[in-house]
Amino acid sequence: MKTIIKHTLAAVALMASFAAGAQNTRSGYFVDDYTYRFQLNPAFGNSRGFVSMPALGNINVGVNGNIHLSDVFYNINGKTTTFMNPGVNASEFLGKISDVTKLRVNTKFDILSIGFKGFGGYNTININARADVGANLPKSLFSLLKEGVANKTYAIDDFAARGMAYAEIALGHSHDINKEWRIGVTAKFLVGAGNVDARLHNANLTLGTDAWTITSDAEINSSLKGLTYKTDVNDHNNHRYVSGADVDGAGIGGYGFAVDLGVIYKPSLPVLRDFTFSAAILDLGFINWSNNMLASTQGPRTFTTDKYSFDINYPDREWDKIQDDLATLYELDDLGDQGSRKTSLATTFNIGAEYAFPLYRRLSFGLLNTTRVDGAYSWTDFRLSANIAPAKCLSASVNASAGTFGMGFGWLFNLHAPGFNLFFGMDHCFTHVAKGVAVPTSSNAAANFGLNFLF
Q: Are 361 and 387 in contact (CB under 8 A)?
A: no
Alpha helices in 139-201 (DSSP H): 139-147
**CA dihedral for 27, 29, 30, 31, sign (positive or negative):** positive
Q: How far is it, in rounded angstroms, from Cα 60 to Cα 205?
A: 42
What is the model's pLDDT at position 13?
Answer: 43
Under 8 Å CB-to-CB from 256, ≥6 apart: which residues? 166, 190, 192, 285, 286, 287, 288, 345
C-alpha to C-alpha distance for 449 and 27, rounded to whole angstroms = 12
Residue 190 burial (CB count, 10 A):
21
Residues whose CB is less than 8 angstroms from the CB of residue 402 and which lie 6 or more positions away in sequence, other chains included: 381, 382, 408
How far does the chain reach from its first CA to its final CA, in angstroms? 57
CA-nearest of 320, 400, 252, 329 to 4 is 329
DSSP annotation string for 241-293: EEEEEEE------EEEEEEEEEEEE---SGGGTTEEEEEEEEEEEEEEES--E
Consecutive H or E run containing 8: helix 4-17
Question: Which residues face 451 on adjacent strands?
Answer: 422
Q: Distance (Å, rounded) from C-alpha 410 to C-alpha 449?
A: 14
- Which tens digit of pLDDT belongs to each residue from 72-91? 778 888 787 778 778 888 88
Residue type, 324: D
Q: How far apart are CA 58 and CA 115, in angstroms?
A: 14
CA atoms within 13 A on the CB side of 249: 6
Q: What is the CA radius of gyration of the chain?
A: 25
- pLDDT at position 70, please? 75
Rounded-to-integer distance, Cα 416 and Cα 319, Å: 56
CA pair distance 168, 108, nearest whole angstrom: 10
Q: What is the DSSP string of 18-48?
A: TS-S-SPPGGGTTSTT-TTGGGT-TT---SS
> Which DSSP helix (H) or strand (E) runs through 214?
strand 212-224
Name the pTM for this structure. Answer: 0.86
Q: What is the pLDDT of residues 118-146, one digit of tens each?
A: 999 999 999 999 988 888 989 988 888 77
Q: Strand 333-337 relative to strand 275-289: parallel, antiparallel, unpaired?
A: unpaired
Q: What pLDDT does 308 receive? A: 63
Alpha-carbon distance of 338 to 307, in angstroms, equals 30
3-state SS track over 77-127: CCEEEECCCCCCCHHHHHHCCCCEEEEEEEEEEEEEEEEEEECCEEEEEEE
Q: How confident is the prediction along the chain (455 residues), in pLDDT tens digits per residue?
A: 334 444 444 444 444 433 333 467 899 999 999 999 999 999 999 999 999 999 899 987 777 888 877 787 788 887 877 787 788 888 888 898 889 988 888 778 899 999 999 999 999 999 999 988 888 989 988 888 777 666 678 888 888 999 999 999 999 999 999 999 999 999 999 999 999 999 988 888 887 767 788 898 999 999 998 899 999 888 777 889 888 888 887 789 999 999 999 999 999 999 999 999 999 999 999 999 999 999 999 999 888 877 665 554 555 555 555 555 566 678 899 999 999 999 999 999 999 999 999 999 999 999 999 999 998 889 999 999 999 999 999 999 999 999 998 888 999 999 999 999 999 999 988 665 555 545 555 667 778 899 999 99
CA atoms of 156 and 134, how far apart (whole Å) = 18
pLDDT in the model for residue 12: 43
